[in-house]
Amino acid sequence: MCGRYVIVSSVKTIAEKFQVQANIDFTSNFNIAAGQRAPIITSENPEELSLSHFGFTPFWAKKRTYVINARAEGDHNKENDPNYTASKGIIKKPFFRAAIRSKRCLIPADAFIEGTTKEKLDKPYLVYMENGERPFAFAGIYDEWIDKESGEVYPNFAIITCRPNPLLQKIPHHRMPVILDERNYREWLNKETALSEVTSLLEPYDHRKMNAYPLDPEIKRVKTNSREALKAIGQPLVEKQTFSIENSLELLGMGESKARSRK
């Protein structure tokens, strides 16, 4: 699963990276959790950055549900086999089948926080792009839920997850968020994209472009939200000659300037 993620990039940086307009009030969030608002780019308004609540509720639901993740396999691969390559059952799940067809979104992020399968966020890791490529985008779905009593509208979204790549298996964790390649952004947002092409994108991201390091378990508290909370307490899972832990932190936005290589 992916229940926490990080945005340190400014709205301006996100807008420039995704080539969209932005007129939203959002500041860095180092520990985005369910119920909080975060920027997304929707298939309805692909040229605009908007704010939405993390936690999916379809328009027809009687109550808000805060579903943060949608499994690409749907009800298949219940054993979480990392080698699973069969059908993407998300297209048949009543909760998600409408959204996966017409309400897809990009979810900008600079990194995400993942715990082990057993200890969960009692043993957290920060997962990031090794080359400093950020912000990147999770594949997501979205909707709007209306509170019938108050009339308030709640735009909301969920991150789609898939089987883990080798890096996530090292943590170890049995799931990972679907991270889209930049060349597939427009295809993902296009409502006319064939469903078979949409599901073909729901695959693990190239582990060779990623890395992770352990964090203080304090990050499990939703109220823990600071740059300090992203500091490593151990070595990266994959050792690199040209990147130190401090360098990785810079890549994650500990400063807006470009990171300096430390050999």
Give the DSSP letter string of 225-240: -SGGGG--SS--SS--
- Res. 257: pLDDT tops 80: no
78-119 per-position pLDDT tens digit: 999 999 999 999 999 999 999 999 999 999 999 999 999 999
153-184 per-position pLDDT tens digit: 999 999 999 999 999 999 999 999 999 999 99
Q: What is the pLDDT of residue 131?
A: 85
- Give yes or no for a contact between 139 and 165, defined as CB atoms under 8 angstroms apart: no
Arithmetic mean of pLDDT over the chain: 92
- Res. 262: pLDDT tops 70: no
Give me 125's structure tokens: 């890791």
45-84 per-position pLDDT tens digit: 999 999 999 999 999 999 999 999 999 999 999 999 999 9
Domain ranges of the chain: 4-254
Looking only at the bridges linking them, the beta strands covering 48-54 and 37-42 are: antiparallel
- Give yes or no for a contact between 51 and 24, defined as CB atoms under 8 angstroms apart: yes
Q: Which residues contact 196 (CB under 8 A, 6 or more apart)?
A: none
Domain 4-254 sits in CATH 3.10.20.90: no
